Amino acid sequence: MKVCFIAEGCYPYVVGGVSSWIHSMIKSFPEIDFSIIAVIADRSQSKKFVYDLPANLKEVYEVYLNDSDWADNRKGQSNERFSFFHLSKRKRKALEGLLLNKNIDWATIFEMFENEKISVNELLMSPSFLHAVEESYSKEYQSTSFTDFLWTLRSIYAPMFLSLQINPPKADVYHCVATGYSGIIGSMAKLRNPGSRLVISEHGIYTREREEELIKAKWVLGAYKDIWIEQFYKMSQCAYDYADVVTSLYEYAKKLQIEFGCPAEKAVVTPNGINIKRLHGIAQKSEDDENINVGAIIRVTPIKDVKTMINAFHLARQKNPKLKLYIMGSDEEDKAYGDECHRLVMELNEDGIEFCGSVDIANYLGKMDFLLLTSLSEGQPLTILEGYAAKKPTIATNVGNCYGLIYGEEEDELGDAGIVVPVMNVQEISSAILELAGDEEKRKAMGEVGYKRLKNKYLIRMMVDKYEDIYYELDRKSYGRNRDSVKSNI
């Protein structure tokens, strides 16, 4: 069997929860040949892998959302140069449907990039694209500047069209780790390779995350926010429509997927899982260490809201000077934000915070008393589960599935494995830090609850079993092969 992962902005270029999940999935299926289509910003990131690629990951194909076909040529060009570029009537109609978000003919859109080497620059500057923009403008957006509207749509569709230029490798299953650009590539790949199947796995709800980012964004204003948001919704709907199976990490996320257009019969919950054995026998806190050690296993990026973490910890440490915070994760992914966090620590004159960089958490986790996560958005954080493997409770913001992991789902009566706090609330996060710092017995009891919860539901073997069932059932439906025969012939 051949499986092609399609991932946007993560593996194998960035360390993090989704990247770790992909890496563990590939390693967990040594009998399957994997490839990956990696959607990245531009060629400056090319081949800059931060993972040692498993032997069964046979190829990495790169897709650039900003590339020379558009970025280097879009300015200073005369429209006359592109006047010869025309689409057939059927393709013009499909393009208009895409821009109007009405009866979108994705098959024809995908076909546009299959048999012809279309220049994205020529397409976006062509009379066909201009006419489609004029149709959209006249129906809904006449209150805005047409020039601004035209260039906004060119900016919106450039990355989509660039991503559709790839010729996807042949695979039995295409597995997208988001909707968005990954989802439309996966949909196109499935359509081009008869018999193949498409799985969508959302660790966060892509459309909601992009919508939240755009609402806060300062680079796009007014009606243009709505246009960008609509774009991500239409791409996600495409992925849901073409997918055979759509997975989520927990029940509420599944409910959201259905609300956002995923057919209910396709939706399946597949919780995260970790390798508990990796953290057995790790070094523990020494008896002469009188500090209360707090661990944060995070990338130093805005989505993790490290500034709130720093401020809350500083406030708590003023009342309990034994507190010590270890931030375990890269501060290079967003260098500007990382520098701001380092400056904040210096401005606060806080000597109880240590930036550890990218480390093997097995060397640190056992020495922690509890973990801290102050994210603005999460799916089902692996860091919480890793803490549970070491019997460490977590203080986490009420995002994603943090509430369910810490307090248990409806059928779980084990108890509390930490404390859930509001997003960006320095005072309440600080109070929670002080509560756990001041009660060793509570920390130990919560750690035991977390460990039991992990063993009941979140072991990697449980996760792998679910995906094995998905992969081989889809293969059986496509080719009539049973699981044992497929494995024996690999």
Task: Quote the pLDDT of residue 484.
Answer: 60
DSSP strands (E only) in 329-462: 353-357, 370-373, 394-397, 418-421
pLDDT at 485: 47
Closest CA to 37 of 203, 166, 151, 127: 166
Residues contacting 59, CB < 8 A, separation 6+? 35, 36, 169
Nearest-angstrom CA–CA distance, 308 and 331: 16
DSSP notation for 312-373: HHHHHHHH-TTEEEEEEB-S-TTHHHHHHHHHHHHHTT--SEEEEES--GGGTGGG-SEEEE
Angle at the Cα of 19 from the Cα atoms of 51 and 285, rounded to 5 degrees: 80
Contacts of 105 by beta carbon, 8 Å cutoff, 6+ apart? 93, 94, 97, 98
DSSP string, 258-282: HHTT--GGGEEE----B-GGGGTTP
* 439: Cβ contacts below 8 Å, ≥ 6 apart: none
Strand 245-248 to 197-201 pairing: parallel
The pair phi, psi for residue 211, each rounded to 5°, is -65, -45
Helices first, then strands: H and E counts in the chain: 19, 13
Residue with tokens 């968005």: 180
Q: Are strands 370-373 and 394-397 parallel, antiparallel or unpaired?
A: parallel
For residue 482, the model assigns a pLDDT of 65
H/E element, 46: none
**Distance between CA atoms of residues 319 and 431, nearest Å:** 10
Peptide bond into 159 cis (omega under 30): no
Question: What sections of 193-222 are H helices per DSSP?
Answer: 206-216
**318 vs 291: CA distance, rounded Å:** 14
The single-letter DSSP state of residue 10 is -
pLDDT tens for the 490 residues of the chain, in order: 999 999 999 999 988 889 999 999 999 999 999 999 999 999 999 999 999 999 999 999 999 999 877 655 544 454 445 455 678 899 999 999 999 888 999 999 999 988 667 789 889 998 889 999 999 899 888 888 999 999 999 999 999 999 999 999 999 999 999 999 999 999 999 999 999 999 999 998 999 888 888 888 888 888 889 899 999 999 999 999 999 999 999 999 999 999 999 999 999 999 999 999 888 889 999 888 999 999 999 999 999 999 999 999 999 999 999 999 999 999 988 999 999 999 999 999 999 999 999 999 999 999 999 999 999 989 999 999 999 999 999 999 999 999 999 999 866 889 999 999 999 999 999 999 999 999 999 999 999 999 999 999 999 999 999 999 999 999 888 777 666 644 433 3
- Residue type at 112 in one-letter notation: M
First to last CA, the chain: 7
Please answer whether residues 126 and 157 qualify as being in contact, where contact means their C-beta atoms are separated by less than 8 angstroms.
no
pTM, full prediction: 0.89
- Residue 208: what residue type? R
pLDDT of residue 483: 60
Report how far residue 354's alpha carbon sits from residue 368's, in angstroms, rounded to the nearest whole number.
13
Structure tokens at 312: 């809350």
Q: How many CB atoms lie within 10 A of CB 250?
A: 19
Q: How far is CA 399 from CA 209, 421, 423, in A?
A: 12, 9, 8
* Contact between residue 458 and residue 177 where contact means Cβ atoms under 8 Å apart: no
